[in-house]
A and B are shown apart, each in its own frame.
Chain A
C-alpha cells in the first residue's frame, strides 16, 4: 500500500495565528494593488484588467497568413485612428492574434455606434497588410456595449453572492451556523486572494473567470466540509475530547484525501492551462490559484475560526448557566453536561431519532 502520509500528528490549530496572519498579508497585498492601481493608474492599469465582457469593447480574433509582429499590427491600427488598442498574439497558435479595442468615449446610448467605429478601424488598419481573405481573415468577434457590460458585471457579482448565501444556508442546516459561517469566511478569503492575484498580475477578468470563481467556491467548501464532517463524526465517537484536539485529529485524518484530491484537480486544471487554449486561459489560471488557496483555507482558516467561535459560544453558555444557578433558577444541566449537548450534538440526536 502506497501512502502519502502514514501517521500524521500535526497541531494545526497551534499555528492559527501564523496562518491567519499570512492570509491577511496576502489579502492586503491584493487590496493594496487594487487600491493603488485604481487611484494612481500606473501604466494605465486599473484595479482589475476587466475584459470586454465587463467593460465593453471589441475583441477581434484575426488569423494571419503571415502574422506580423504585435508592434507592427498596433502601429497599423493606430495610424488608422484606433486608440488604446491591445494586441495579444495567441501563444499556442502562431497565426492567430487577438486585437482588443476599448469603447471609444463614454455615453450609454452610443455604444452601438462606438462598436461599429472600432471595428471599421480594425479593418482599415488590417487592410494595410493585404486584402481581407487573402492576407488575413477575421475568425471571431466579440463586441460588448457599455450597457451589456455593466449588466454582465452586476449579474456576475449577484450570482456569486447568492451562491455564497445558498452554501451558508445549506451548511447551517446540515451542521451549525458557526460551521457555515466559518466555511463561508474561508471561501470569501479564497475569492479575495484569487481576485488579489488577478489585480497584482493584471490577468484579464472575463466571464469565464466568474465561472472559475464559482467553481472555486464549490471546491473550497468541499474541502472544508470533508474536515467538518470528520469533526462531527469524531465528536460523536469521543465525547470527552476537547474540540481543539478533535479538530486537529480530523484535519490529520483527512489530510491524505485533501492532498490527493487537490493534487489531482490541480493537475487536471494544469492540463487546461497548457492545452485549453486562449479562451479558457483566465478560467484555468483562476482555478490554479484558487485550488491551492482553497485547500489551504479549509485547514488554516475555516477550522480555526470554527473552533474559536464554538469555544466562545460554549464559554458564554457556561457563564449563562452559572448565572442562572446562582439566581436560584434550576439549570437544565451541569456545565460539563451542557458542553456535550452543545451545538453539533443536538443535530446528531435528531438524526439518530430518525434512523
Chain B
C-alpha cells in the first residue's frame, strides 16, 4: 500500500517535471537533435518566454481621447445645422448660442416667440436630434444633450479612435502592436505597446494627427478675379461686418510659392500667412474619402502632393456642387488650415488633390492618416516609456545575475544547515523555478523586470516553506518521536502555517494584479504563480523525497536534517 502510494507520487512528479522542462526549453515543433545542444536550448528558451517591453525593448504609450472636444464640435455642428434648418423653413434665427462646458446645450433665439413649436418641428425634420431634449421658453428653444447619450457618444468616440489608431499602426508597419483600453472606462484612455520601436516620435505624431479634411467654398468673387484674401484675421472679420456668423469660418491660408527652378526652395519655405473666409458646412468632408495617396508633384524634385478620391456618396455631392459653381473658388482645408485654393474649371466628380508642398515622408504620413479616417477627437499623450534593446538586454542580465546569486546563497545555506534534507529543499527550489517558467509560457504571461523581482522573492517564500517544515520535524524529533512519525507530524503541522502564509501573500498580489498597471502586474503574476507552484514543490515533492528515503531502509535510525 505504502509502496504503491510512493510509486504513484514519483510518477506524477516525473511527468510534471518532464512536461514543465519541455515547455520551457523544448521547441514548439517536432524536436530535432539540435534542440538538445546548449545553443538550441538557449534559442528555444528565448523564443518560448514572452518578454515585456522593458526587457526586449520597445515603446509604451498611454493616451487619452479628448472626448470633451468631440462633444464640443458635435454641439457646434448641430448648432449650425439647426440654424440652417430654421432658416430653410423660413424662420431666420436671431441668434444661436452653444454651451460646451460639462453640459452641452444649443440655444436658438428667434424673432417670433409664437412660432417656437413650428421651428422645433421643422428642425427635427432636418437634423437628427434624438439624443437631445428640446425645451422652448420665451423666445428661445434650448436643446440639451442627455447625460446618458453624452456618455455613450464619448465612449463611441473612444472606440472609434482606438480602431483608427490600430489601422494607422498596421498601415505604418509596426510589428505586433498591442492596442487596448487603459484604466477606467470613463477615463477614455488607450494603451499602445510597440515592441522594437526605439524612437516613437514619428509614430506618436502619426497616431495623434487629426487630419480633418474638408473641401469648402471660399467666399470670393468668381474667377477670373483673383481669390479674395486678407492680410490679417481682423481684416477678414471686418469684411463680415465684425462678427463671424455660424456658417462662415475665417481660416489661415499659406499661399504656395511657385518654385522657379525645381529644388530651389525647400518645401517648408512659404510666403507669409494670409486669411480667407470660407463657407461651412463643407461641401464634402474627409469621411467621404475612399482613398488617398502621396504622389510626386508635377514640379518634380523633392516635392510631394496628395491625391484623393471620394466614395460614391461623396462623389455625387462633389459633382453636384462643382457643376453648379463653375468659376467659384474652392479650398482644401486640413486641420483648420487652408492648404490650397483653386477655381472650378468644370464639373469634377471623384478626384482631387492637395498640393501643400510636402516632403515625401510627410505626404505619406498625411495620406495614411487620411485613409484611416479622421480621429473623432484630438488625443493627448499621458505616459510614454521607451526602452532601447541594449538597455533591455542589460536589465535581463542584471535580473538573471541577481536571481542566480540569490539562488546560490539559499542553496549553499540549506545544504550546510540541513545537510541531507537540504537536498530536498534544493530539488524543490529548482523544480519551482522550472515550473514557474513553464506556467508563464502556458498562460502566455509576459515576463517583465519586476517579474524577475517576483521570481527572486518566490525563492525566498519557497525556502521559507522548507524551513518551516524542517524546523518542525526537528522539534518533533526532539520530543522523542520516531523518524517516520516526526516527518509526518512535521509536514502536517507546518502545512497549516504554509497555507496561511501563502494565502495572505496571494491576496495582496491579487490586488496588485487586478488593480495594478504594467510593471506591478508583471510582479504579481510571477509571485502568485511561484507561490501556487510552491505548494506542490515544497510540500508534495519534498515529502515524497522523505518517503523515498524512508522506504529504502527497513528500520530508520537516523535522519540527516
Contact = CB atoms under 8 A, between A and B. Distances in A.
B467 A260 contact: yes
Given A141-B385, A218-B509, A267-B406, A2 B417 contact: yes
A61 B57 CA distance: 13
A269 B463 CA distance: 14
Contact of B450 (A159, A208, A217, A269): A208
Interface string B390-410: 110011001101110111011
A155 interface: yes
A275 to B, nearest CB: 4
Interface string B372-389: 000000001111111110
Contacts of B394: 93, 277
A275 B398 contact: yes
B453 A257 contact: no
Given A93-B394, A215-B527, A225-B501, A264 B409 contact: yes
A90 B395 CA distance: 13
B382 A145 contact: yes
A280 interface: yes
B517 interface: yes
Interface stretch (A9-17, A37-45, A161-169): A161-169
Contact of B410 (A139, A163, A257, A267): A267
Contacts of A254: 471
Nearest to A272: B402
Contacts of A277: 394-395, 398-399
A256 B561 CA distance: 14
A159 B511 contact: yes
Contact of B504 (A145, A225, A287): A225
B382 A147 contact: yes
B508 interface: yes
B390 A1 contact: no
Interface in B501-560: 501, 503-505, 507-512, 515-520, 523-524, 527
Contacts of B212: none
A257 B498 CA distance: 13
Contacts of B405: 268, 271, 274-275
A211 B526 CA distance: 12
A219 B450 CA distance: 17
B259 interface: no
Given A208-B519, A211-B512, A226-B468, A111 B380 contact: yes
Contact of A261 (B386, B449, B467, B505): B467
A171 B505 CA distance: 12
A211 B518 CA distance: 11
B464 interface: yes
A219 B504 CA distance: 9
Contacts of A167: 504, 507-508
A222 B505 contact: yes
Interface stretch (B90-98, B290-298, B454-462): B454-462
A275 B413 CA distance: 20
Interface residues of B, number: 70
Contacts of A271: 402-403, 405-406, 409, 456
Contact of A140 (B187, B388, B416): B388
Contacts of B391: 61, 63, 139-140
Given A139-B391, A148-B382, A166-B507, A159 B516 contact: yes
Contacts of B453: 208, 211, 272, 276, 280, 283-284
A3 B457 CA distance: 25
Contact of B471 (A144, A147, A162, A257): A257
A155 B516 contact: yes
Question: At the interface, is chain B mostly helix, strand, loop or mixed?
Answer: helix
Contact of A1 (B515, B527, B561): B561
Interface string A235-268: 0000000000000000001101100110011011
B381 A115 contact: yes
B33 interface: no
A215 B401 CA distance: 21
A75 interface: no
A166 B515 CA distance: 14
A155 B517 contact: yes
Nearest to A206: B519
Interface string A128-145: 000000000111111111
B457 A215 contact: yes
Nearest to A229: B497
Interface in A266-307: 267-269, 271-272, 274-277, 279-280, 283-284, 287
A214 interface: yes
Nearest to B463: A264
Given A151-B183, A279-B395, 5 more contacts: A137-B388, A144-B383, A170-B507, A214-B520, A268-B456
17 contacts: A2-B417, A144-B382, A151-B382, A167-B504, A211-B453, A218-B509, A219-B505, A222-B461, A229-B500, A261-B464, A267-B410, A267-B413, A268-B409, A268-B456, A274-B402, A276-B453, A284-B453
Interface of A: 1-3, 61, 63, 92-93, 109, 111-112, 115, 137-145, 147-148, 151-152, 155, 158-159, 162-163, 166-167, 170-171, 174, 207-208, 210-211, 214-215, 217-219, 221-222, 225-226, 229-230, 233, 253-254, 256-257, 260-261, 264-265, 267-269, 271-272, 274-277, 279-280, 283-284, 287
- List the 7 shortest-distance A-B pairs measured between CB atoms, nearest first: A268-B406, A277-B398, A218-B505, A139-B388, A265-B460, A148-B382, A163-B508
